[in-house]
Chains A and B, each alone.
Chain A
Amino acid sequence: MLETVIHGVTFKNPVIAASGTFGFGHEFSQFYDLSRLGGISSKGLTLEERFGNSGERLYETESGLINSIGLQNPGVDAFIRDELPYMESLGTVILANLGGGTLDAYLQGVEKLNGTSVDIIELNISCPNVKAGGMAFGIKSDVAYEVVREVRAVCKKPLMVKLSPNAENIVEMAARCEEAGADSISLVNTFKAMAIDIHKKKPVFDNIFAGLSGPAIKNIALRMVYEVSSAVQVPVIGMGGISRWEDAVEFIMAGASAVQVGTANFVRPTVCLEIIEGLEKFMVENSFQTIAEMVGIAHNNA
């Protein structure tokens, strides 16, 4: 009943652990059987290993989290060698989330991932935390179009493009990525934000700006998913502040074929499981036979 097929890849259910909030799975495997998940998106990978940002990396807001991790990761080669064998043993769909500083870095990363067992490449053109973290490509749709087109030309895996909510025009951005050959669109990454330490009288983060996630962004992300899903034909994967099964249902009704859960994993490590169970119960109670029946239903009733 929960099964959902997205560009030929079958997900057991539409709940995917979001990039950067689930590592490569190890830490969560002590709490539950990860084969229960629809999928896992890897920590954002770059061609070279990165230590990430200096200084404070986290700031809790009233109802969200600002992070400045800065794509700390072991690099694509080490991912393929050390992490992927474990991930592919988990019995869930594996997305390799790929960030990049330059077009060339994206292309080289894609070439390396082409020959592996990853199911999907999630192209991150939206990390706000690294000067060359990809967000430069995620603001203007013409720039994004070029990157996606070039990546598409070498990519042998289904290509999901992850959008930044900081894009100048999110609907146009999605449409251009589709035109350039994206097989699906995921959104949103974090919102560019900041915090000031009033006692030190300076910005909390060394980079000044950082990315806001969690419940605080949910209803803006939902609106973006709603708008984008009526503007593109390819599947849309929605995220931003999903913490409960009700949130997941909202995103699906707004037009998402699947959802990703990020920050909520930090609050309770078993949250994805609770969302999957709640979703199934809701479908039974409301006589939905398939996820597809729910996708975008809010548009019909608007």
Chain B
Amino acid sequence: MPASCLKSDILSHKEIFSGVYQMTCRFPGPKAPGQFFMVRGWQGYPLLSRPISVNDADEDTVTFVYEVRGQGTQLLSALRPGESVELTGPVGSGFPVEKLSGRVAVVAGGIGIAPLLYAAKSMKGCEAELFCGFRGKSYLVEAFAPYVSAVHVASDSGAEGHHGFVTDLLDAADFDAVITCGPEIMMKKVARACREAGVLCYVSMERHMACGIGACLGCTCKTLHGAKCVCKDGPVFLGEDVMIDA
């Protein structure tokens, strides 16, 4: 699935939670769960495009859910349907959903929930449960309803669900596989629990990146199989391969 670099029309764009936006763009061709695009909605500066993962997709469109964190996402959030963005992608190696079967835990931390929706939707013949942690109130959780049999929510503030870490809610031994995306400390805990329970675990890594296609070597991470590019060889890796010191 080679990537392309295209000007793409914005079909819809709305704030679904305070500071969290959902944007759908026209972009023909297949996209795999866990892949991402380098997104640019401005000329000039900021210099670099922003990596944003596929939240949902069909043959003709791609949907992103992103949190406004800096100048780039701020500029992006101001664009309206009918305007366009520049997309380079789809890039990266995503969740190998074909390798998943049986009971699967989908574990999200904060905005890490975004790529997991398309992953949950793409899993075939699995029984999935969603575990998600937020700072305060939850978002995007309802969208999982068709794809998961149970939802477990935790929050740092106690505003919703369990008051504490999402990892408190998860017993990896109950599952055949776990897929996770979120803060690295959370994923480390998940990967460690899976390793102890002998459960297959895939993590989606995040690193600062410049090109998103494997050329700059800025997002290199150490793995059991040597140095890998998070953008090209990942962002999804086997937990045991990247969480070496977990």
Contact = CB atoms under 8 A, between A and B. Distances in A.
Given A65-B48, A72-B227, A266 B5 contact: no
A22 B211 CA distance: 10
A56 B49 CA distance: 18
B208 A56 contact: yes
Interface of A: 20-23, 26-28, 30-31, 43, 51-52, 56-65, 67, 69, 72, 214-215, 263, 265-270
Contacts of B232: 27
A215 B47 contact: yes
Contacts of B215: 21-23, 27-28, 265-266
A72 B2 contact: no
21 contacts: A20-B216, A21-B216, A22-B215, A23-B214, A27-B214, A28-B215, A51-B222, A52-B227, A57-B208, A57-B217, A57-B218, A57-B219, A58-B210, A58-B216, A60-B208, A69-B218, A72-B217, A214-B47, A263-B210, A265-B211, A268-B5
Contacts of B222: 51
A62 B214 CA distance: 23
B132 interface: no
A31 B214 CA distance: 13
A26 B86 CA distance: 22
Interface of B: 2-5, 40, 45-49, 86, 88, 208-211, 213-220, 222, 227, 232
Interface of B, secondary structure class, is loop
Contacts, number: 88
Contacts of A64: 47
A-B pairs, 10 with minimum CB distance: A30-B2, A58-B218, A266-B211, A266-B210, A27-B213, A23-B215, A57-B218, A58-B208, A27-B214, A72-B217
Given A58-B208, A267-B40, 18 more contacts: A20-B216, A20-B217, A21-B215, A26-B214, A27-B232, A30-B2, A51-B222, A52-B217, A57-B219, A60-B208, A60-B210, A65-B47, A67-B218, A263-B47, A266-B216, A268-B5, A268-B40, A269-B213
Contact of B217 (A63, A65, A69): A69
Contacts of A26: 214
A265 B210 CA distance: 10
Contacts of A59: 208
Nearest to A22: B215
Contacts of A22: 215
Contacts of A21: 211, 215-216
A30 B210 contact: no
Contacts of B49: 267
A64 to B, nearest CB: 7
A63 B227 contact: no
